[in-house]
Structure 1
Amino acid sequence: MTELLISEASSQATGSVPAGQLLAEQVNALVEQLMDSADATGAPLAGEGGLLQQLSKAPLERALETEVTEHLGYEKNDPAGRGSGNSRNGT
């Protein structure tokens, strides 16, 4: 679904509205849908396992993974790092 929203935002980008603004609007709409869904199902918004925790966890983990990839100079599971002395340890 995220790919669809990004694709729609890029295809709608014209000279009048910046692509970043369109993407931000799509993200806001998606967050509203998630919150409505959580309300409808009784899922918690805050606390352990809540929507806020889940929405925070994914981008933070992605950012950390990107940071370690840039620091080490090779992608996860790439054999280039094996035996180099500067390899991932799985944690």
Structure 2
Amino acid sequence: MEVIVKQQKATARQVLADVYEEINWAYLAKNYFGKSRSWLYHKFSGMNNGVTDDFSDVDRERLKNSLQDIAGRIMQAAERL
């Protein structure tokens, strides 16, 4: 009998652990999601009022794109120095 092990997807917070403290999440929540920082913090914590809350696939993609945009803008600013 073959045993199938379902691989769990890492949480966004786990993936971003090494840069989490360097990012202004309130700015990102407002300017890229049109949401409050508490909305984003609930997503990162995985809980909202005792209910499991995680990023949807669409929101994960938006988070990825927003981080890439910010990274690109930082690189451009650094190049101008």
Task: Name which one, 1 or 2, has greater alpha-carbon Rg.
Answer: 1
TM score, norm. by length of structure 1? 0.31
Higher strand share: 2
The alignment's TM-score, normalised by the length of structure 2, stands at 0.35
Which structure would you say has the larger RCO, counting Cα contacts within 8 Å and 6 or more residues apart? 2
From the two aligned structures, give the one with the greater helix fraction: 1
